[in-house]
Amino acid sequence: MNLSIQPVVSGKAASFRDFDVEKIRSDFPVLHREVNGNPLTYLDNGASSQKPKQVIDRMTRYYEHEHANIHRGVHHLSQRATDAYEQVREATCNYLNAASSREVLFTRGTTESINLVASSWGRHFLREGDEIIVSTMEHHSNIVPWQMICEERGAKLKVIPISRAGELDMEALQGLLNERTRLVSVVHVSNALGTINPVEEIIKLAHQHDALVLLDGAQALPHMKVDVSALDVDFYAFSAHKMLGPTGLGILYGKESLLNSMPPYQGGGEMIERVTFEKTTYNELPFKFEAGTPNIADAIAFGSALEYYDELDQNELIAHEQGLLAYASGRLSQIEGIEFVGTARDKAGVLSFNLKDVHPFDVGTILDQMGIAVRTGHHCTQPLMDFYGITGTVRASFAFYNNQSDVDALVGGVEKASAILL
């Protein structure tokens, strides 16, 4: 049986020190630069991951030797580029264990993937009085598109509450689900808290009520493999740039039957239906949803990012990141005045915190002076910040190429920030 998600291995099973992180780091050119006179400590992976030279080289090679517009050219370069582009769709399909590459749509990013579903599926299927469920911990990208379409269609947006630890209230979800629920759209891994949500259970419950499920996987795939078939998820959205790939490319996985039932997203919706020539052009999946020249170079380079992940041992990767998380949590908790935000039992490599009575912006500014890149602010999750009664947090987010020195630098930086600011 396929595991939908690789199990989260505790730090005990495999020490993060066993992972050959130094060899991996040598693949990432940017990790060897200095910032403000210090070696870069890059802990803003939740915002965007750095790129290995394999990905950078692939993009360069494409532009130097292989570039042409795809799909409609009869000449050699166009056919080569088309093959390369479509091979990455196939590779993405395999990576996600989707049933067919027709279920893999290329978009600009997670945000566009969600907007595509909200706009195309929502406009076509939502009726007055229907309900969409999101959660308190959603990124604005998984709130606003639903608010917009709910307003347009007279549907209602319901919100799953969370606990102080940052875990979904699953009992509350059961109470929210009813015959009016059309779709549950929740984050797989929270960008602000790191919480890994119980998505199998959410999908099971939603399907019992004939509701669809969309998962915002932007922060999940960088940390774990996801099997969309085993999960039986209806839509899965994520971004290439958070998982070693280039910026400007996203993926929307959708079940083929669903995607087939949805009208095109771009080109003017209803208008396309009246323009017979356009409709016949974009009639088939996945092209129906990819109007215009696609992001060819970035998609092709993303193929190299997937290959990079495939060469890593997933269990070792998870153990390494969990080890970093445990080590960082342990050391930071020794600092006076530190308050962690998000202490769920199942967490990916995200550590959100505040120093008591200190604005996260001030902490981030001091860390930046020391060459430490973290994110500060509300992380595009204002309703979540409101829930905690804070304006923001300092967020350190780990990737598998981070090492113990990165954590030590972070701890040193936060200690210094604490000394200066408190």
Partner 1 sequence: MSFSIDEIQDQIIEEFQLFDQWIEKYEYIIELGKNLPDLDDQYMRNENLVPGCQSRVWLHAELEGGKAVYAADSDAIITKGIIALLIRVLSEQPPESVHEAELYFIDRIGLKDHLSSTRSNGLVSMINKMRSVARELAEVA
Q: Which residues are catalytic?
A: 380
Kindly tell me which of 155 and 363 has the beta carbon lying closer to partner 1.
Answer: 363
| Whether 11 contacts 323, CB under 8 Å | yes
- Contacts with partner 1 by CB under 8 A lie at 36, 358-362, 364-366, 369, 376-377, 391-392, 416, 420-421
Cα distances (Å, whole numbers) of residue 34 to 157, 408, 414: 46, 17, 19
The smaller minimum CB distance to partner 1, of residues 326 and 380, is found at: 380
Nearest approach in angstroms of CB 413 to partner 1 is 12
Tokens of 226: 């996801």
The C-alpha angle with vertex 296 and arms to 291 and 298, in degrees rounded to 5, equals 120
**How many angstroms separate the CA atoms of 353 and 379, rounded?**
12
Output 142 or 376, the one with its CB closest to partner 1: 376
| Nearest one of 167, 164, 162, 201 to 184, comparing CA atoms | 201
Alpha helix (H) residue ranges in 314-403? 314-332, 360-369, 382-388
| Measured distance CA(305)–CA(28) in Å, rounded | 12
Min. distance of Cβ 176 from partner 1 in angstroms?
Answer: 31
Q: Which is nearer to partner 1, 191 or 322 (CB)?
A: 191
The nearer residue to partner 1, 36 or 208, going by C-beta atoms, is 36
- CB of 411 vs partner 1, minimal distance in Å: 17
Question: In whole angstroms, how close is the CB of 365 to partner 1 at the nearest point?
Answer: 5
Q: Among residues 61, 91, 85, 88, which one has the least CA distance to residue 73? A: 85
CB of 102 to partner 1, least distance (A): 39
Task: Single out the residue of 283, 227, 294 nearest to residue 260, CA to CA.
Answer: 283
**Distance (Å, rounded) from C-alpha 4 to C-alpha 374?**
30
